[in-house]
Amino acid sequence: MPEHVLVIGSGRDLPTRLRRARAGTRTTVICRLDYLSKLRETTEHTRIVGVSPDAPDDEWIAFAEAVHARHPFTRIVAFGERDQDKCALVGQALGLAAHSPQTTTLVYDKHAMRARLREAGIDTTACAQVFDVEELRAFLAAHDTPCIVKPGNGSFSKGISLVRAAEEAADAFARAGGGPGDADATPVLVEQFHEGPQFSVEAFSEDGDHQIVAITRKYSDPLNFVELGHVSPAPLTPAQEKQIHHYVERILDALGIGAGATHTEVVLTESGPQLIETHVRMGGDEIPALAHDVTGVDIADCLIRHTLGEKVLPGIRAALAAPRTPRSSAIWFAALPAPGVLAETTGVDEARAIPGVTEVQLLVPPNATVDTLQSSTSRVAHARATAPSADEALAAAREAIHRLTFHLRVHAADQGAL
């Protein structure tokens, strides 16, 4: 029987790759209305169902059941960050293999995730949900340590602050989206800050069997922690790699993640790795491309074939074990020092001519309104490079970004006068 895959969300080019991976495969998409404009090759889908962003879970399930009754689904998948919870609930209702609703709840709810990992003896990070600035200040006073303040259920590195003093609490709470202290307010998460270099860990799982594919060193803005660059493989000792591998595998087990691609972020402290957060999707920021450069493992292709029921871990492990000339792959992003309208970007050809540079991509079209670095969506360009070492790959990618010039149109603010 031909495959009929229910795609929850948009998925960029991955639904197209699904259809091409096996002859006769059809795709139906159910997504938020605001994602309709992000869909590609819309006429190639069998059908597309748009759902209001505030639609209840049972509406997603009802739409899926209605289609399933007429044209049964054989598989279900969500490729992106959002609506993994909807995928889990729909999969459960239709009897299709997917992450459990409990797992997606734990992945999305960072406070619940910490509690589960604490129960499993994996995480000891001090954390709390706070509903107003005074609760945040009380946490800071009780723990006497720098803390991370962030949305309790956020993405795109948005709304994150490092707080070292009580007088910074109000701004951090507001940045994280905190509202008035009432029962309906969205809580803000405050966590103990772990000092150390940060890493992204890409893994793939089948039937509860985990394989770490790559560890990537990440470089973030020191104020809001938006990622500015990455390099893979991370410069680690074999002992550090083994420690991170074991730690991430324990996290995946504790959260009930037994299948598919995952992206886990950790800090390597003096006492060992500590979790930032994990995701039941591939990494962003072109990290899978960096991993492919240095390991030969195409995580996206593995996810496509896994979705269609193929076993991919043997191939992943064979690729990782195959002899390869050591090389590093890096990416660096451009952010702007001031908001305005991006009139033009020059220097692209010069950036692409730098030895080792494999890609220079502008992320914002001319005449778009741009901002300073507020989240990962604020970045305006990236450059990728490969080289024999991490330092060389990073240097080439950063130099390519430095060759770009961004021409902004700005207007003087009306400051008033005395």
Print burial letters for 87-101: b (CB count within 10 Å at least 16), e (below 16).
bbbbbebbebebbbb
Q: What are phi and psi of 111, to 5 degrees?
A: -70, -45
Query: Would you give per-residue pLDDT tens digits along the chain (418 residues)?
Result: 899 999 999 999 999 999 999 999 999 999 999 999 999 999 999 999 999 999 999 999 999 999 999 999 999 999 999 999 999 999 999 999 999 999 999 999 999 999 999 999 999 999 999 999 999 999 998 988 899 999 877 555 578 889 988 888 898 899 888 665 544 567 899 999 999 999 999 999 999 999 999 999 999 998 878 999 999 999 999 999 999 999 999 999 999 999 999 999 999 999 999 999 999 999 999 999 999 999 999 999 999 999 999 999 999 999 999 999 999 999 999 999 999 999 999 999 999 999 999 999 999 999 999 999 988 999 999 999 999 999 999 999 999 999 999 999 987 666 665 6
Give the tokens for residue 140. 């800071």
Give pLDDT, residue 156: 52
Tell me which residue has tokens 């995701």: 279
How far is 87 from 80, CA to CA, in rounded Å? 11
Helix, strand, coil abundance in the chain, percent, nearest 5: 35, 30, 35
Give pLDDT, residue 182: 47
What domains appear along the chain, each with residue ranges and CATH number?
Answer: 4-98 (3.40.50.20), 126-192 (3.30.1490.20), 195-324 (3.30.470.20), 327-418 (3.90.1170.50)
By CB atoms closer than 10 A (0-12, 13-18, 19+), residue 262 is buried
How far is 185 from 92, CA to CA, in rounded Å? 30
Structure letter (DSSP) for residue 162: E
Give pLDDT, residue 96: 98
Give pLDDT, residue 1: 80
